Amino acid sequence: MGAPMARRLLKAGHKVRVNSRSIEKARALEPDGAAIISDPARAVAGADAIFVMVPDTPDVEGVVAQIEPALAAGQLVIDMSTISPSAERAISAHLRTIGVSYLDAPVSGGEPGAIEGTLTIMVGGDEAAFKRARPLFEVLGKRITYMGSSGAGQVTKLANQIAVSLTLEGVVEALVFAKAGGLDPARVLDAIGAGAAASWQMSNLGPKIIASDFRPGFFIKLLRKDLNLVTGAARENRNALPGLALVRSMFNLAAVLGHDMDGTQALADALDTFSRVK
């Protein structure tokens, strides 16, 4: 995700310095005009805005620890990873003590959205910092929403993943039920795909499920990470989410069945296996 986003910033005329744990990947951005910097601290020194885009909470914490000695008051750090809301609040409070602004700004829309600059960006943190970052967000995304104080962007992203997961479970159970009932599942999608059952998940992943095309749009491994984050945040809020707990188990079953590097629609295979046990 980081590479196409950096490319859009470069195209918009910004100077971009890039650091990555896989520095070879970063080198691919050199022809686009990026300066590849192998030392994280040197990469961020003096920058107007510093973007972080890594997989999980410990990765963000690690990056922040590496760059912190090089940060100066007045700088702005924008984390676009999907990680724990409470971890974001802790990082934000810590950086505030050295005068550095911090935004959590996770995205949805996947790699196609990153390439085309149509990401949805959900932002938490100081509103003044959000206003400062807004022109940069507009290079990267289309639907940019300020959600509230630090962590609010992450809570929004996790709410999105809850809805995504349960909607997909609904599509998968509807198709399994229809198949067991002797129907042609493609015809079922035709019949029900435009009414009250309609969803992005049904329109986009339904046909792939029917074709057993499990090539990844979004990896099950990453969604499982997000659902773990949901579970942690819900526990902090003493917030029971029974459907989410169930669908998380189904995605874990999908992983056990070898689907971690498949797209989320491989949930269909997990339910199929689960459902076949008599």
- Give the distance, in angstroms, between the CA of residue 129 and the centroid of all CA atoms in the same chain: 21
Q: Is 48 helix (H, G, I), strand (E, B) or coil?
A: coil
Give the shortest CB-10-to-a copy of itself separation in angstroms. Answer: 25
Chain centroid to CA 88: 15
Active site residue 157: yes
User: Residues 157, 179, 208, 221: which is the catalytic one?
Assistant: 157
Q: What is the largest CA-CA distance in the chain?
A: 66
For residue 155, how far is the Cα from the chain centroid? Answer: 12
CB of 234 to a copy of itself, least distance (A): 6
Q: Minimal distance in Å, beta carbon 34 to a copy of itself?
A: 28
Q: Give me the DSSP letters along 116-160.
A: HT-EEEEEES-HHHHHHHHHHHHHHEEEEEEEESTTHHHHHHHHH
Q: Going by DSSP bridges, is the β-strand pair 119-124/107-108 parallel, antiparallel, or unpaired?
A: antiparallel
State which residue, 28 or 234, has the beta carbon closest to a copy of itself: 234
Q: Which pairing describes strands 35-36 and 141-148: parallel, antiparallel, or unpaired?
A: unpaired
CB 34 within 8 A of CB 165: no
C-alpha closest to that of 154 among 237, 74, 65, 251: 237
CA–CA gap between residue 42 and residue 274 (Å, rounded): 51
Q: Give the residue numbers marked as catalytic.
A: 157
